[in-house]
Chain A
């Protein structure tokens, strides 16, 4: 176990101590203890930068279930490190923010930090795992802990709804992903990611390529809130704001992006991968940004904005996968570089914007933009952070979002030049969709800044008198906003240390032969640079549309989008109908009537057996080995048959018992005829005793039911019972004739030969019962004893309803 293993496990260990700290040291906010851990982990991960930027990969192995190929291996490359730094870095800031956001009084802090640490450990596990199965385990842990965090205020109904929704959707995707991993294992025989990548050509040639790809993408799309699985993210906004900032903007929702990037070397180059990843991404981008504009709740705007930005990242990765097809020239790999760069940028500005929304909520008591306004003078620092974050997201110079937005537009323009994958026909959609979505992005960014902070101050609508947030709540967004500015002015401080190793992880040198991608991000490309013209267009059109917002916003009502996302209707309908239909099926099937269950069992038995016999042609009748039947046997058979047929038509219970007893005595007569004296004796005695028992029981039947017995006649029952009788007869006849064809030597000769010498007795039946097969007898008398005690218990221990167990 290496230090990196410990780094994954330590959050879980600390989570175990958190309740103790919360109870034993109530004076100090528990968050301060928690804060130490992500800070240390962040510093520790930073120390790997020199190693990784030199092109090396850190691998640590630890056997877990080696026989199944499941090992807790750690694979730390540029991509993992980038995510690890995001998780620990933003994790530390979020913990600091939460210390001031959640008060010591009235909040279950031990629960909050327990879930948060569990989430942090699981996230680190996902990004550092070198083994798909271990990754899946941590992946599901993030789903679980994220649901717990969304439902943190579990007394609210909406929180529970959101937690359930996110759980159902992400776990469904996670399960599909598990199936995809299993298919990868079938193709390659390993769960280790690096080994799968080296066998990428095997995977590409396999029939299972498309199913595995679809299943894995299902996991990625549900986790990363891609259309149509995005609906859980807006409902997850019921979580405390630090959680939204951490999980639903910076880290967990990027797991799908991570998965797509991580497995890109395996799948990229295929047109299906290219089209699904970039197509779904682009549609999500458009859908998210279009829907964000109509929201009135700050966090809902941010949720849809996150959906949109995730779609943008996904589409860039999709376009980047074309590089595998065209030999990794800089023109094609630029899309992936843009994706990595924007991923960093998005985490910085979106994290800060969520924190700003939390501050506004905390200081005014509402997040509704219709109630807010004119907060600029009360919260100047928050306003500044908000401007930086929102302008960066809108793609305005000089913030980092401007650079990545330009790179994104450039990518989409380049995509039109791809000559394959039907891009000649549909390629033009890429830049058009990107541009339209960017216009909407610009509009909601403006709403985000100007609606709450400018305009008219409406104190009568607010619960509290607004004032600037405490410094502890401001430090984390200030740090993030300064990073936004820093990366905006000096984009290349990250390119060698972080971005280049990450790109190398997506385009591994073993496949591409490219050692150095030589990444350089520049802010100014000259006046003829077409993305710049697009950006200027976005700003002009976006400003015009923002200013005329009230005039054209009715369009959402025409499109019936004004209430909730239409996909939600599908989800709610399915969830509701699932319960209703399941209840209906259960009610049809589980009637509570034993007679129905008997019908099921017999029908199933009949169908299965007859089909099996038909399928293997097992019907046969063979009379060669049949003994002659004397006349008296015919006679006894006729009498037995008559007695048996009479039973269902008898109206009196006592007569029915006597009739059954009669059949029993005739059976003992059969034993006599077929020379089985022991059996005949036993049958006689048992029949006597059971008849006496039956009569005793009927003596005790309640008056009401007495003599009220009328056997009803049902054709279904007749058919089934005749069928079962025929089945048994046919099986017996066939078994006999097949036994004749291939006779087995009976073991009874051994008993006949040895009963006297070995068992010391001449009654072979008895010798078998007590000597050769004595164990059976011993257990049978045990059964009898248990039955007797059962009867006594049922009759003697009569409990009233309450005492009954």
Chain B
């Protein structure tokens, strides 16, 4: 990626926009079960926020700010998604049986807690990892 000079307005807007986009991405993830959204869309949204960061700043800077190793995201996400499937078998249910219940939480009031969310978080992590791993690998490639 080439570095542009004097991009103060782009940098400032990016810094604000990234937070808004990331928040929206979390909203999509958590609201996905009952409203449009879900792990896949949320993750793509988060990935595009980080891509925005990569576009406005250079690769080295972003690596300092976000010192993540993206293959771990993929591995962790897959483990979580499969873990939800396996854990249901431990209780004698078929693979990937999901459970949910409504609980009263202190601040949020009556809230639905579901294992499907855990599964979705696994999807979220994998998709973020995949998108960013591919983009950064191709961008870093010098040959």
Contact = CB atoms under 8 A, between A and B. Distances in A.
Contacts of A781: 77-78, 81, 122-123, 126-127
A770 B45 contact: no
Contacts of A697: 138
B138 A791 contact: yes
B143 interface: yes
B18 interface: no
B41 A788 contact: no
- Say whether chain A's binding surface is mostly helix, strand, loop, or mixed: helix
Contacts of B134: 693, 787-788, 791-792
A788 B119 CA distance: 20
A759 B33 CA distance: 9
Given A682-B40, A685-B48, A760 B133 contact: no
A739 interface: no
B33 A763 contact: yes
A561 interface: no
Interface in B30-44: 32-41, 44
Nearest to A772: B98
A689 interface: yes
Nearest to B129: A788
Nearest to A686: B44
B44 A700 contact: no
B91 interface: no
B137 A795 contact: yes
Contact of A795 (B41, B77, B123, B141): B141
B18 to A, nearest CB: 15
A791 B116 contact: no
Interface string B113-142: 010100110110011011101110111010
Interface in A749-783: 759-763, 765-767, 769-771, 774-775, 777-778, 781-782
B130 A784 contact: yes
Contacts of B100: 759-761
Nearest to A697: B138
Given A689-B47, A781-B78, A766 B95 contact: no
A771 B135 contact: no
Interface in B55-104: 70-71, 74-75, 77-78, 81-82, 85, 95-96, 98, 100
A574 B51 CA distance: 66
Contacts of B129: 785, 788
Nearest to B81: A778
B43 to A, nearest CB: 9
B44 A689 contact: yes
B112 interface: yes
Contacts of A791: 133-134, 137-138
A555 to B, nearest CB: 78
Contacts of A206: none
B141 to A, nearest CB: 5
A760 B116 contact: yes
Contacts of B35: 762-763
Nearest to B47: A689
B124 to A, nearest CB: 10
Contacts of A689: 44, 47-48, 51, 131, 135
A774 B34 contact: no
A220 to B, nearest CB: 61
Nearest to B120: A770
A51 interface: no
B46 to A, nearest CB: 10
A769 B38 contact: yes
A677 B31 CA distance: 14
Given A678-B38, A696-B138, A792 B112 contact: no
A759 B95 contact: no
A763 B33 CA distance: 5
A763 B123 CA distance: 17
A762 B126 contact: no
A268 B78 CA distance: 73
A363 B27 CA distance: 100
A644 B28 CA distance: 32
Contact of B33 (A766, A784, A788, A798): A766
Contact size range, B: 35 or more
B141 A700 contact: yes
Question: Which among B33, B39, B120, B127 has the highest number of chain A CB atoms within 10 Å?
Answer: B33
Given A689-B131, A696-B138, A774 B36 contact: no
A492 B14 CA distance: 113
Contacts of A774: 85, 96, 98, 116, 119
A761 B114 contact: yes
Contacts of A677: 36
Nearest to A785: B74
Interface string A159-180: 0000000000000000000000
Contact of A777 (B70, B123, B135): B123
Given A678-B41, A798-B143, A788 B36 contact: no
A789 B77 CA distance: 14
Of A693, A760, A770, A789, which is in contact with the most chain B CB atoms at under 10 Å from its CB? A770
A681 interface: yes
B38 A763 contact: yes
A696 B139 contact: yes
A682 B44 contact: yes
A692 B37 contact: no
Contacts of A678: 36-38, 41
A763 B40 CA distance: 14
Contacts of A765: 38
Contact of B96 (A682, A692, A775, A782): A775
A692 B116 contact: no
B28, B34, B134, B141 interface centre (most CB from chain A within 10 Å): B134
Contacts of A789: 71, 74
B95 A770 contact: no
Given A682-B40, A781-B77, A761 B135 contact: no
Given A689-B48, A787-B130, A681 B138 contact: no
A796 interface: yes
A686 B130 CA distance: 12
A589 interface: no
Nearest to A760: B100
Most buried by A among B40, B119, B127, B143: B40
A696 B120 CA distance: 29
A798 B137 CA distance: 13
Contacts of A785: 74-75, 77-78, 126, 129-130
A793 B39 CA distance: 26
A516 interface: no
Contacts of B71: 788-789, 792
A717 interface: no
Contacts of B133: 788, 791-792
A612 interface: no
A769 B119 CA distance: 10
Contacts of A682: 40-41, 44
A778 B127 CA distance: 12
B89 to A, nearest CB: 13
A549 B133 CA distance: 90
B64 to A, nearest CB: 21
B126 A784 contact: yes
A795 B85 contact: no
B85 A778 contact: yes
B112 A760 contact: yes
21 contacts: A685-B41, A689-B51, A692-B135, A760-B100, A760-B114, A763-B36, A766-B120, A767-B116, A769-B38, A770-B119, A774-B96, A775-B85, A778-B119, A785-B75, A785-B130, A787-B130, A787-B134, A788-B134, A789-B74, A791-B138, A795-B137
Give 10 closest A-B pairs by Cβ, nearest first: A760-B100, A761-B33, A685-B44, A677-B36, A762-B34, A788-B130, A781-B126, A770-B116, A784-B130, A785-B74
Given A700-B138, A770-B33, 4 more contacts: A682-B44, A685-B44, A760-B114, A789-B74
